[in-house]
Amino acid sequence: MRLEQQILFLKELDKLKHVIRQTYLVDETRQENTAEHSWHIAMAAITLAEYSDDPVDILRVLKMLLLHDIVEIDAGDTFAFDETGYEDKSEREHRAAERIFGLLPDEQGAEFMALWKEFEAVETTDSKFANAIDRLLPLLHNVWTDGRASWERHQPRFEQVWKRNVTGVGQASTDLWDYVQQLLKNAVDDGWLAAPEQ
């Protein structure tokens, strides 16, 4: 029974490969899916862990990064700057987490749910770093594609991009935040991102 529950959960995760995100691949041939994003941010966390301002438990960070978007199987991907989509995002995702993690044996489902909630709360050192990495990668995709990964289509305001990253990257890593600020300046200078309002 336990193994069957775990296998059913793993089968359910295959659906992440069909959840299409707003961000394009660097070669701009197509949009990435959530499974690809999850792998990429996990690799980014391993690669960039040394830049966390505070020591992190990288295994816990990886678990959060691999778990937090599983809810998109039911809730879909809510674009970072979609204010209307964010009105019920938390409720949709919580229902999804309960259903999907509920497929697992009780104690394992409870562990995954606790990690998912910790990521969402952004209060611990591990969750702050996980969130920083989750916000950094879409920004990097836009930089790598001269804004075509999603900025060109959606035209977010500079202030929106700044706020999303200062409350993500800026809370966890001084070095990465300094780097992001330079990337944002370059994006404005190069015309990929509209200049901040005066």
Domain ranges of the chain: 2-189
* Closest to 141 (Cα-Cα) out of 30, 67, 64, 48: 30
> How confident is the model over 113-152, as pLDDT tens digits?
999 999 999 999 999 999 999 999 999 999 999 887 788 8
Give me the residue label for tokens 């890593």. Answer: 173
Q: Which fold has domain 2-189?
A: Hypothetical protein af1432 (1.10.3210)
Per DSSP, the three-state class of 20 is strand
- Greatest mean pLDDT among 16-20, 85-89, 143-147: 16-20
Rounded to two decimals, the pTM is 0.93
